[in-house]
Amino acid sequence: MLSSAPPTSVPLPFANSGTKNAIPTASQIGITAGAASLTDGFPPLTFTPISAGGVPPFGADFNGILNLLSQTVQWVQAGGQFGYNSTFQTAISGYPKGALLLRSDLSGFWLSTADGNTTDPDTGGSGWIPCGGSSQIASVALSGSAVTLTALQAASPIIILTGTLTANLNVVFPAWAGVEWTVINSTSGAFTVTCKTASGTGVAVAQSGAAFLYSDGTNILQPSAMQVGAATQPNQAVQFGQLTGLIGSMRNASMSVTSAGASATFAADQVVVGTALNGLEYLLPSYSQTINLATTGAGGMDTGSAPVSGFVALYAIYNPTTATTSILATNATSAAAPTIYAGGHMPSGYTASALIGVWPTNASSQFVIGYQNDRSLKFVGVTAVNTTTNASTPTSVSISAAIPKNALSISGNITVANNTANSSVSASINSDVNGSSKAQTLQYIVSASGAATCPFGGISIATPQAIFYTLNPNTGVGTLTLSITGYTF
């Protein structure tokens, strides 16, 4: 048998407009002469010879009825199905609710959701939804404008999006309640694809990714996270808490500024970014981005201009929808920059970030000369303290001109002097009032106007932008000078 040669559909019930009697269930023998019933079929009178008063049936009628019915029976017994037939649906005043019709591509079925359904499902008629079918895949080519799926495309359970995108665009699905799709985005081009209905909301499907989608009759939705067991194989999904990284952690990170300027390139083998401290995390390999403080948006300041003689925080930022990586700067002069960007000016689409640098700026709002390695920054020495005020116990002094609020430790040089010959002077710098983590305790005998200098490193900052010092000359006037050449953050 051939799928292209189905039998003729019955356009009308037999004798639809002819003279006919309603066939009763009960026997009509003895009630109406010659009348048929479901109990007896044709009554004995039809088997009576005409000469004896019988009424003969027409043999051609028997043949026509039985041929018509047996064609359909044979087709159905062979597994055949019927597709939409415009003439037939007109004859029956539309298909009933629950009717199942073969799709015109012979790859699935349409289910009627309404009685008296006169529309054609193969051309997108209303009142039909796809039902069952094969593992047919629909390939849909995209470029720069929205595409509305045909009914037969949308009836496929797997939809592959192809082509080179030249703009952000929508793929419009029918508003079929309860229908599900697996959508694979195999497009290229730095733009987004959103799967939606004509009037409802939708879901963006990332390039080189796939999404399981369904329709509620109004919108295209994506199921919430499904419960899964802990992964034991590389291709299994992990759960939160099973595998996490430290947001902001970097491997071989570096940034060098050899002459003051607005631009610099930050590079790292790896950077970990996240949407929140307990949110989704992403590992950015081979990270290399150029920041320009003279611009705004991705690759520049988040808003406004870079501060004058202040500090800027640098963030690695990531757009998971387009897999796009960039860098963003923000003013970090008056407040410590958080681990994840918290300003209100994140470029559109970027949802993950991590603090990767905090740099000083000069009077021209430029990066100062310096070098960053991982989370340590070195630069030309900045005098942070120059005092002749004696302090026998650790006393707080601000070093806000030299380090940002994010600084965790400092390095540099301490210089002590005494203006009286043959007099000693001692000095120290400390993390706190208790004298923790002393940098140095210097005690020298110096000649008039003489001085001694000693480098230090790794002094922890307990109070943001402040250290504690002591200065104790035995006679004369002592001087303490603190030059800072670097900090960690």
Q: What is the pLDDT of residues 434-455, one digit of tens each?
A: 877 666 555 555 555 578 888 9
pLDDT in tens, 10-67: 776 666 676 676 767 788 787 877 766 767 777 788 788 888 888 765 344 445 555 6
Token pair listed for 361: 């700026």
Residue 230 located in a structural domain: no
Beta carbons of 480 and 387 less than 8 angstroms apart: yes
Specify whether 261 is located in the same domain as 365.
Answer: yes
Q: Number of folded domains in the chain?
A: 5
Residue 127 located in a structural domain: yes
Specify whether 75 is located in the same domain as 92.
Answer: no
Specify whether 187 is located in the same domain as 294.
Answer: no
Specify whether 298 is located in the same domain as 344.
Answer: yes
pLDDT in tens, 171-185: 999 999 989 999 999
Specify whether 419 is located in the same domain as 473.
Answer: yes
Question: Which pLDDT score is estimated for 59?
Answer: 46
Average pLDDT on 71-75 reads 79
Residues 6+ apart with CB under 8 A from 435: 394, 428, 468, 470
pLDDT in tens, 233-266: 556 666 554 556 899 999 999 999 999 999 999 9
Pairs from 85-92 (Cβ < 8 Å, separation ≥ 24): 85/9, 86/120, 87/11, 88/9, 88/10, 88/11, 89/117, 89/118, 90/118, 91/11, 91/12
pTM summary value: 0.57
Residue 320 located in a structural domain: yes
pLDDT in tens, 114-147: 999 999 999 999 999 998 766 588 999 999 999 9
Residue 158 located in a structural domain: yes
Specify whether 66 is located in the same domain as 35.
Answer: yes
Residue 322 located in a structural domain: yes
Q: What are phi and psi of 86, to 5 degrees?
A: -60, -45
Specify whether 70 is located in the same domain as 95.
Answer: no
Tell me which residue range forms the domain holding 68.
Answer: 1-80
| Alpha carbon 130 to its chain's center | 28
**Distance separating alpha carbons of residues 232 and 230, to the nearest angstrom:** 6
Specify whether 480 is located in the same domain as 403.
Answer: yes
Specify whether 362 is located in the same domain as 381.
Answer: no
pLDDT bucket at 167, cuts 50 / 70 / 90: very high
Specify whether 349 is located in the same domain as 326.
Answer: yes
Q: What are phi and psi of 83, to 5 degrees?
A: -95, -175
**Distance separating alpha carbons of residues 396 and 25, to the nearest angstrom:** 109
pLDDT in tens, 187-221: 999 999 999 999 999 999 999 999 999 999 999 99
pLDDT at 382 over 50: yes
Residue 233 located in a structural domain: no
pLDDT in tens, 359-379: 999 999 999 999 999 999 999
Residue 238 located in a structural domain: no
pLDDT > 70 in the chain, percent: 87
Specify whether 473 is located in the same domain as 387.
Answer: yes
Residue 365 located in a structural domain: yes
Specify whether 287 is located in the same domain as 367.
Answer: yes
